[in-house]
Amino acid sequence: MARPAKVSPDRILAAAAAEFAARGYAGARVDRIARRARVNKAMLYYHFGSKQTIYRTLLRQVFAGAAAKLIAIAETDRPTADKIDQVIETIAAFMAEHAFFPSIMLREIAEGGAHLDPETLKALASVPAAVARIVHEGVRRKSVRAIHPVAAYFTMLAPLVMYLGGAPIRTELTAQHLIDLTALTPDRFVRELQQSMRLALAAPSARRSSR
């Protein structure tokens, strides 16, 4: 559902992703989605039936895609510290590939899931669930300090989502000379975050290493 997309529904979903990310559910315009997808608006209703259905289909796909990658990491049998490193890297890569994902995630959290049906909510929930599972295992094995897995989830992924989703406003703030972002590339940000999380989550016995 990413960039190429030859079939109508896929092109529509790709266009919808950009529109919903930039404007939010309420701000998104069906006409604009149709135009961006280069399909007639009637086609869009022919395939999906409503704006809401497009939105839910899109979110279900993207949450399921992200969760699948995290679950694959969880099922590895590597040390938890490595898995956490991978979670950060993998989500960063996923968001780089699906640039609309951070914005939509930020908006949906703020929205309280108002536009989501139970199935889509379930897909959304599988993301923190997968991360929490990894952290929980680490805590059980005493390689991660005693922390609530959901607290760890937010500590790990919220910075990533807000940093990557905040790219447009940072551009704006930089243009107005209101903030100094010298040398903070996305790549460096990811490495800084990995480092911070290694330090923040390591069990006391496992501390000292900073790689």
Partner DNA sequence: GTCTATACTTCGATAGAC
Partner DNA sequence: GTCTATCGAAGTATAGAC
Tell me: does residue 28 bind DNA (CB under 7 A): yes
Among 129, 137, 203, 206, binds its own copies (CB under 8 A): 129
Query: How many whole angstroms separate alpha carbon 142 and alpha carbon 131?
Result: 17
Among 51, 56, 83, 98, binds DNA (CB under 7 A): 51
Query: How many whole angstroms separate alpha carbon 125 and alpha carbon 116?
Result: 12
Site for its own copies in 4-23 (CB under 8 A): 21-23
Tell me: does residue 17 bind DNA (CB under 7 A): no
Among 99, 137, 155, 203, binds its own copies (CB under 8 A): 155
Closest to 40 measured CA to CA, from 11, 5, 1: 11
Closest to 69 measured CA to CA, from 91, 85, 84: 91
Buried b (16+ CB within 10 A) or exposed e, 22-56: eebbeebebebbbebbebeeeebeebbeebeebbb
Tell me: does residue 169 bind its own copies (CB under 8 A): yes
CB of 96 to its own copies, least distance (A): 16
Count residues binding DNA (CB under 7 A). 16
Continuous H helices in 76-206: 80-97, 101-111, 118-140, 149-165, 167-175, 186-201
Footprint of its own copies (CB under 8 A): 21-27, 102-104, 106-113, 118, 121-122, 124-125, 128-129, 132, 147-148, 150-151, 154-155, 158-159, 161-163, 165-166, 168-169, 171-173, 176, 178-181, 183-184, 188-189, 192-193, 195-197, 199-202, 204, 207, 210
